[in-house]
Amino acid sequence: MAAAPPVFRLPAVHSSPTTAQYAKHALRHKPYYTPAFSMTKEQWHKTLLAPWFRKTDPLMPAYPHGKNVHFPEANYGLYGGATLATGHRISRGRNKGKTLRKWFPNIRVETVRSRALGRDLTIPIRARVMRTIRKVGGLDQYVLGSRPARIKELGLLGWKLRWLVMTSPRMKQAYAAERKKLGLSDNYSAIERFEHAWNDPERRQQMIDEQEEAWAKLKAKMDRYDAHVEAQWTASDTKYLALEEAYTSDKAKRAFSLLDTKPSHFAFPDTVEEIPYDQFAKLPQLVRDGEATIESLAAEQRAQQADEEKQIVKQWA
């Protein structure tokens, strides 16, 4: 009986550029202005500070338009691309002249229902965005809009809600029914995992061929560079005599030369084990190395989260 092929595990995904995109929003400077609404501590804990919402999925793609640097308050709500408008108040009476002033967007704390998530979300929403949500049929339909203008006005909060709605069990069932109706395979995923592609022999060979083609181009460039250096090298350079001897004796010993081993010569595994998504970040690196315990990390995380919540509530008070 033939031995089973070796099975390898990929390292767990703990962070990504997306998690870094949201990391700096827990602690921030004093707001540029005091908004017209005032969120209480209970309202903050309902959605924005809830554990299920604060956790950012490492597999979530980064928001293409980035965070709002000039109007940071828009990163915490659905502002629809609104920002501060500056202008003048013109007086034509006795004290005629111009006075600088600003116009703030009409923001209110609204509680909207997400059918896909099965939750009531309490978040700051602009009045015009709220009108659009009612027009399209709900929050889920609003964040799932695919037009470029809709993507641009979502902001960081809307982009995160879009990912949560798309990966919810209810939407996954709807997508599965649509795939079945269109005749697509059941295991189709918009985000293909490496294990699925590598365990397919044809896809695995295709990836190896692409790597070997890239290696061949790089090897040709390295050979041209070696030929050029050897042609230009002269024995009169006594300063680099030691380097000359090491460089011209054996190409395989050159630290900056490309190896002659092709990617196809390496022994790659035939099967890569698929790790369930809920086990990706179950054990941190410190716990696996024995430098900490799960209890100590949990206590440290709760203390840090409490300090962040106090600072956020204090800034918006």
pLDDT digits (tens, 9 = 90+) for 277-311: 444 445 555 555 556 666 676 777 777 777 777 77
Please count the other Cβ atoms lying within 10 Å of the Cβ belonging to residue 14: 11
From CA 187, how far away is CA 199, in angstroms rounded? 14
Q: Can you name the residues that pair with 85 across neighbouring β-strands?
A: 103
SS3 category, 89: strand
Q: What average pLDDT does the segment 152-172 reach?
A: 92
Q: How far is CA 263 from the centre of its chain?
A: 30
Q: Give the residue-averaged pLDDT of 24-50.
A: 65
Residue 235, helix vs strand vs coil: coil
**40 vs 21: CA distance, rounded Å:** 26
Tokens of 1: 């009986």
Residue 192: phi and psi, rounded to 5, are -75, 130
Q: How far apart are CA 25 and CA 155, in angstroms?
A: 13
Higher pLDDT, 206 or 135: 135
CB 137 within 8 A of CB 112: no
Mention every residue, 6+ apart, whose C-beta is less than 8 A from residue 308: 26, 27
Quick one: pLDDT at residue 164?
93
The burial of 48, by beta-carbon neighbours within 10 Å (0-12 exposed, 13-18 middle, 19 or more buried), is given as: buried
Residue-wise over 138-149: b if at least 16 C-beta within 10 A, else e? ebbebbbbeeee
142 contacts: CB under 8 Å, gap ≥ 6: 129, 132, 133, 136, 150
Q: What is the pTM of this model?
A: 0.57
Whole-angstrom distance, CA of residue 148 vs CA of residue 24:
26
Greater pLDDT, 261 or 129:
129
- Mean pLDDT of the region 5-34: 57
Res. 20 pLDDT band, cuts 50 70 90: low
Mean pLDDT for all residues in the chain: 77
Q: Is residue 147's pLDDT more than 70?
A: yes
What does the pLDDT average to over 134-155?
Answer: 94
Distance of CA 308 to the CA centre of its chain: 21
| N-to-C CA span, the chain | 71
Instruction: Please list the helix, strand and coil fractions of the chain in percent, rounded to the nearest 5, in that order.
Output: 50, 10, 40
pLDDT > 70? residue 312: no
Mean pLDDT on 168-178? 89
CA–CA dist 255, 15 (Å, integer): 33
